[in-house]
Amino acid sequence: MKPLQPDAYAFWLRAPGVGEIRPVTLPERGRDEVMVRTLQSAVSRGTETLVFRGGVPPGQYAAMRAPFQEGDFPGPVKYGYLNVGTVETGPAELCGRTVFCLYPHQTAYVVPALAVTVVPEDVPPARAVLAGTVETAVNALWDAAPLLGDRVTVVGAGMVGCCVARLLSRFPAVQVTLVDIDSSRADVASALGVHFALPADAADGRDLVVHASATSAGLQRSLDLLAPEGTVIDLSWYGDTEVRLSLGGAFHSGRLGIRASQVGTVSPARSGRRTTADRLGLALELLRDPAFDALLTGQSPFDALPDVMARLAAGSLPALCHTITYDGG
């Protein structure tokens, strides 16, 4: 008698720096649940590589749990939240639909129907994996509230910074510059319709700076670029990395500000009128814009994830958004 085959496979962090593929037995689907077969997932490079190396501070274990995380930091843990798949079984209105879910890297899964959001038909699955990142950018701009004609700089041309820059480019008369230490990101900036500058060449006197480099140097440069009474919106999560700033210059005399923005809750500017479901739905609508394809710079099959994650964490695999493909995806 042949052994039973697992229902699915999932990527787990066995211990900091060590990933593996594990078999999964799926639970029986309930009446108000869906079974999704994954088409594409993506690595949220900043957060997931920090998790991979065991960099979540113990005091943030609860705050940093992903919606469908299993296990606990620092490991073993199943972590991730950028997943696009097809509903194979579930309510009739969802069957056969392509959906986004904040689920880890797994070949198939069962979740409540309310946990999936239908992807617009003109948004391909590979682009739809960016929904969680664009959602972060939406929340950041609700926090930042840029004004008509503002001069805005985004420091850090990673996934989040690029998504913020693209959304800002669609604001009337707003001047947007994307800043990064990697000069090759100039091509991405051009595809996103914004200016590019290396840190030393970036223009100052900015009304608003959005920081997304996750480095002390990036945050310091963000402050240095502000006009008097300007504000830095900080989207970076530093984990257990110490942040050092020099605040002896114009920080006090210029009445500069630093505000944190985090996607875990809806921005206070909209929390009374928008839900997290509204915010995610808006992100998927915004992904009708093909310019976001410029962020998709690498692809690997699911079975290669343990090696891919190690290489991303080590910096030996250059990628902006690295997508993971599955059979049928």
Would you place residue 229 in the very low, low, confident or very high pLDDT band (cuts 50, 70, 90)?
A: very high
pLDDT attached to residue 329 = 54
Report whether pLDDT(161) > 70: yes
For residue 103, give the nearest of 163, 33, 178 by alpha carbon: 33
Left if phi > 0, otherwise alpha if psi is -120 to 50, otherwise beta: which for 80? Answer: left
Read off the pLDDT of each residue in 277-281 and give the average, rounded to a whole number: 95
| pLDDT tens-place string over residues 169-217 | 999 999 999 999 999 999 999 999 999 999 999 999 999 999 999 999 9
Neighbours of 291 (CB within 10 A): 16
| pLDDT tier for residue 1 given thresholds of 50, 70 and 90 | very low
Instruction: Tell me the pLDDT band of 45, cut-offs 50, 70 and 90.
Output: confident
What average pLDDT does the structure give for the chain?
94
Q: Indicate the DSSP class of residue 298.
A: E
CB 33 within 8 A of CB 90: yes
Q: What is the spatial distance between Cα 164 and Cα 135, in angstroms, rounded to a whole number?
A: 10
**pLDDT tens across 250-259, in order?**
899 999 999 9
The position carrying tokens 């998504």 is: 163
Tens of pLDDT along 291-307?
999 999 999 999 999 99
The answer to whether residues 103 and 111 touch, using CB atoms and an 8 Å cutoff, is yes
Q: Estimate to the nearest angstrom the gap between the alpha carbon of 280 and the chain centroid.
A: 12
Q: Side chain identity at 286, as an amino acid letter? A: L
* pLDDT confidence bin for 5, thresholds 50/70/90: low
User: What's the pLDDT score for residue 201?
Assistant: 98
pLDDT: which is higher, 293 or 238 = 293
Contact yes or no for 258/235 (Cβ under 8 A): no
In whole angstroms, what is the distance from residue 119 CA to residue 88 CA?
15
Q: Which long-range contacts (CB under 8 A, 24 or more apart) does 25-31 make?
A: 26/108, 26/109, 26/110, 27/110, 28/110, 29/89, 29/90, 29/110
Cα–Cα dist 104/119, whole Å: 18
Give per-residue pLDDT as tens, 47-100: 899 999 999 999 999 989 999 999 999 999 999 999 999 999 999 999 999 999
Decide if 95 contacts 89 (C-beta within 8 A): yes
The pLDDT value given to residue 287: 98
Nearest one of 328, 287, 279 to 36, comparing CA atoms? 328
Domains defined along the chain, listed by start? 8-130+287-325 (3.90.180.10), 133-260 (3.40.50.720)
Contact 64, 56 (CB under 8 A): yes
> Helix, strand, or coil here: 22?
strand
